[in-house]
Structure 1
């Protein structure tokens, strides 16, 4: 694979000169702590439904990752090949990533919720040579799904499946084949190959897809420098270090889980605790038993955790920081969570393209996490512009641009979408305002994306699918407020004369389109006509107000 990471060179010299790009990779950090404390516990992986756990030391991760690297090398994977991983949070995910870095293989985490439509595009576009999937996860057969896609994936040479290996047949290789102790005999021969191919901190090491407004997912490319430049500043802002124990229940196929659940603890030598799925009671017990001191998740997780601790009476005194990103945190929730958990609630804002850009400081008053999304981390700059490109001052609302060390290095095969000007400013697509002290507040989005519980819903893609329905004449999807998830999606539909359409029919149709269920609208409003401009463009701001008014009438 040729990675067109065109956004590296314009800023490499400046970032290195200013010390923002640390020049270290995951392996540099991991091997530092492997040498210093090989027998210390590095990772605890928990299956929420059963409580089953796997504990691994640095030395154990090292040995397993070398075995996996030997196996992948023998399958023909090497530098700049892409391996996609659809696993939930698990020790296998971590071992696999360390193994990939030893070969210079680019890691492509993909959400377990993705189905044929999303996954098929990503695997084709990224030219994935291998994919690792759970055989079955949440009652869905991933191996059968991949089997159905393979005819359209000429680059996909290997399917590796975790769990239920007895009935895989020839459809996939069992994950246990990557961990066979007999592979230890190949490690010494692989070491010089690894030294040659593992690459440096400016090589693309992660390919991660984000939903946007273009009608297809965008492949975000990151290097170790772009990600770790964020993590160094992030850890310093929050006072995180080697003594912390970090819980991650947000999916590691999201940048939240990947950067702050995997890369961050490895960088600090801190212990990571992973949950495969969110379970509020299990999380509360883990916080008590493992003395969890830090976690990062969206607002619904915080609400759930406060409920669980209040209901069960578990000890949450070790939890110093709960960082929320993805949507505004209601003031009542911040007050309640602080009272119930005894925890500092921190707000932040960021994107897949640049990690967390703005973060509230722990020393700030709680109101800052209610009324703002924090201030810029070192190495990142913020700028607001009006529609004519004029730079705005404090208190004015405008389009948000960011520039600096953690910005991504481009969209794979789509440089025309990089949204970065000649001066390095990246157009985020968000609308914001910045106060005189530099604190930011996200006010809305110029791009057409709804954020449901920190999960981006690709509105344009869902609308395009619904337009295929024979009964639909017009459709627009708009957000409506939800206390727990921040936003939900409402489909506003004008039906063709002589046709009927209802919510059950909407769901049946999207089932047939193989769309991830998390992207389905959760409300339907049937209208005679959707409001439009004189040129025919649907006026979504009017629809948002109409939906809000109808919900208010229903709840009055």
Structure 2
């Protein structure tokens, strides 16, 4: 099925089902989304966009972004969603590599001039005025859908036909363009539908970037099942949880910073549940620390954070189920059609949501092994029940005296200290040992935690002496991307410029 076919099918089945809403009181049924996408597609077609043309769009999490997504699918264009935090270096590289026919951006967003940046890059630019609260109308160019060419037909859709290009984050290295088909992005919704049980009656507010590959996974899940996504263009921990609560969410996600905000909001609210309809919290993008998982269960009244695992190259590969007895202890079982194997400690994948390859085809050989399995770069194992555990990234290790130490293992132990609110472990250069272990810690209010105390805690937890932290830095917040993953390169650069406590 094509992505447009998925929307068309959802409209035939349930034309009045609300599939999208936002924080400004607007909403779209499946029929309204299809009609709005048709008009927007005609507006893009009038600008010369046709089948196979690359449309690069960098938009916040708004109804307009979702309609652009559907409009590009209607045209059979190749769409390239770009997360809003990317700037000149990344966006310039992306636009050149994909040979964008059109770039769609807001004139400005959160004080940054996306329009000026896009106009400096060369391709034609469509600028949207997204400043201020929206009126009832969508802020998109429109045309007559009767002027459109025929919609992409399933009979013509090929398993190797690229329709989506997503870019992974890059700080010092160039970002990598990940090529997907309609089939692969639709398949990525299986873990959400089958694992989380997302379906009709579910309401899931999302404040993370809809331009992330998780955006299309969730939209596909909503179209398949009749669930509703509520789009929030900003996330302010002080007010957004309460605004989300007004929509009576049944699902909340999706990373540690969000869960801290929900917990704080519930405590502000008092004894009555702030989210009375909540049935599940779902984690993605980064592992949820055990103490946070436990606190979510105690304070929000769910069984814990339902874990999932995937990559831009292979979205939602596994998922726990919301009915699992102890969610958060694994990342669940493989989604429908997904196979997992472990080779030398590395998790490798095959399945219908696997990407076609990179925009730079020269990177493909390293991505797959000789048997066609995707090398995920994640370390882990699979237990007797088929549940997958991710132990850390192959590249997220500390090499100390030629011993390989998993950052995730040390982080898991440190996170269990009652004074630690958040933590990241990175390796810093050392003349004697090659690298030493540095713990970057966010402490809970009213607590103090010297390095010696953390070392004693790690030893009491049974962590080997050579894995205990040798340097401690206290920070207000860890640098994270919009999906909650710690920006380790940013941390490494900052650590190189500051001194810290050390245990010899």
TM-score when normalising by structure 2: 0.75
1:223-242 alignment, distance < 5 Å = 223-242=181-200
- The answer for the alignment partner of 1:350 in structure 2 is 310
> Aligned in 2, Cα 1:39/1:434: closer, same or farther, shift over 3 Å?
closer
Q: Tell me, in whole angstroms, the C-alpha distance in 2 between the residues paired with 1:115 and 1:489.
A: 26
Q: Tell me, in whole angstroms, the C-alpha distance in 2 between the residues paired with 1:491 and 1:157.
A: 44
Q: Tell me, in whole angstroms, the C-alpha distance in 2 between the residues paired with 1:75 and 1:449.
A: 49
Q: Which of structure 1's runs of 4+ aligned residues deviate more than 6 A? A: 488-491
- The answer for the alignment partner of 1:325 in structure 2 is 284
Provide, for residues 299-348 of structure 1, a one-character-per-residue CA deviation record: whole Å limited to 9, x for no partner: 22112111111212452121211111233322221221112111242112
Q: Alignment partner of 2:355: what SS?
A: coil
1:461-480 alignment, distance < 5 Å = none
CA drift of 1:408 comes to 0.9
1:202-351 alignment, distance < 5 Å = 202=159, 203-211=161-169, 215-260=173-218, 262-313=219-270, 315-344=274-303, 345-351=305-311
On the 8 A contact 2:346/2:378 being kept in 1, the answer is: yes
Q: Tell me, in whole angstroms, the C-alpha distance in 2 between the residues paired with 1:81 and 1:198.
A: 20
> Aligned in 2, Cα 1:135/1:197: closer, same or farther, shift over 3 Å?
farther
1:61 aligns with 2:19: no
Equivalent of 1:35 in 1, 5, 12 = 12
Q: Tell me, in whole angstroms, the C-alpha distance in 1 between the residues paired with 2:294 and 2:204.
A: 23
CA drift of 1:240 comes to 1.9
- The answer for the alignment partner of 1:188 in structure 2 is 146
On the 8 A contact 1:87/1:132 being kept in 2, the answer is: yes
CA drift of 1:490 comes to 8.0
Q: Tell me, in whole angstroms, the C-alpha distance in 2 between the residues paired with 1:485 and 1:123.
A: 36
> Aligned in 2, Cα 1:335/1:446: closer, same or farther, shift over 3 Å?
closer
> Aligned in 2, Cα 1:71/1:277: closer, same or farther, shift over 3 Å?
same
CA drift of 1:378 comes to 2.7
1:429 aligns with 2:401: no
Equivalent of 2:113 in 129, 141, 162 = 141
Q: Tell me, in whole angstroms, the C-alpha distance in 1 between the residues paired with 2:158 and 2:261.
A: 38
> Aligned in 2, Cα 1:40/1:268: closer, same or farther, shift over 3 Å?
closer
1:73 aligns with 2:45: yes
1:445 aligns with 2:393: yes
Provide, for residues 18-46 of structure 1, a one-character-per-residue CA deviation record: whole Å limited to 9, x for no partner: xxxxxx23222222232344344332122
On the 8 A contact 1:227/1:259 being kept in 2, the answer is: yes
> Aligned in 2, Cα 1:213/1:272: closer, same or farther, shift over 3 Å?
closer
> Aligned in 2, Cα 1:124/1:486: closer, same or farther, shift over 3 Å?
farther
CA drift of 1:102 comes to 0.8
TM-score when normalising by structure 1: 0.69
1:469-508 alignment, distance < 5 Å = 487=424
CA drift of 1:492 comes to 5.7
1:400 aligns with 2:400: no
CA drift of 1:79 comes to 1.0
> Aligned in 2, Cα 1:284/1:163: closer, same or farther, shift over 3 Å?
closer
Q: Tell me, in whole angstroms, the C-alpha distance in 2 between the residues paired with 1:449 and 1:86.
A: 33
Q: Tell me, in whole angstroms, the C-alpha distance in 2 between the residues paired with 1:385 and 1:212.
A: 27
CA drift of 1:135 comes to 1.3
Q: Which has the higher contact order (CA 8 A, sep 6+)?
A: 1
On the 8 A contact 1:79/1:197 being kept in 2, the answer is: no
- The answer for the alignment partner of 1:383 in structure 2 is 341
On the 8 A contact 1:326/1:349 being kept in 2, the answer is: yes
CA drift of 1:488 comes to 7.3
Tell me which protein shows more helix as a share of its residues: 1
1:523 aligns with 2:494: yes
- The answer for the alignment partner of 2:141 in structure 1 is 178
Q: Alignment partner of 1:178: what SS?
A: coil
Q: Tell me, in whole angstroms, the C-alpha distance in 1 between the residues paired with 2:385 and 2:56.
A: 42
Provide, for residues 442-495 of structure 1, a one-character-per-residue CA deviation record: whole Å limited to 9, x for no partner: 222223699xxxxxxxxxxxxxxxxxxxxxxxxxxx99958666537787699x
Tell me how large the CA RMSD over aligned residues is. Answer: 3.2
Q: Tell me, in whole angstroms, the C-alpha distance in 2 between the residues paired with 1:146 and 1:213.
A: 20
Count of aligned positions: 421
On the 8 A contact 1:201/1:224 being kept in 2, the answer is: no
CA drift of 1:372 comes to 2.2
> Aligned in 2, Cα 1:434/1:142: closer, same or farther, shift over 3 Å?
same
On the 8 A contact 1:306/1:337 being kept in 2, the answer is: yes
- The answer for the alignment partner of 2:446 in structure 1 is none
For structure 1, the 5+ residue unaligned runs are 1-23, 47-51, 151-155, 166-174, 387-397, 451-477, 495-516, 528-546
- The answer for the alignment partner of 2:447 in structure 1 is none
CA drift of 1:60 comes to 2.6
> Aligned in 2, Cα 1:435/1:39: closer, same or farther, shift over 3 Å?
closer
On the 8 A contact 2:307/2:320 being kept in 1, the answer is: yes
Equivalent of 1:360 in 320, 330, 336 = 320
> Aligned in 2, Cα 1:319/1:135: closer, same or farther, shift over 3 Å?
same
- The answer for the alignment partner of 2:358 in structure 1 is 411
> Aligned in 2, Cα 1:120/1:336: closer, same or farther, shift over 3 Å?
same
On the 8 A contact 1:97/1:107 being kept in 2, the answer is: yes
Q: Tell me, in whole angstroms, the C-alpha distance in 1 between the residues paired with 2:430 and 2:49.
A: 48
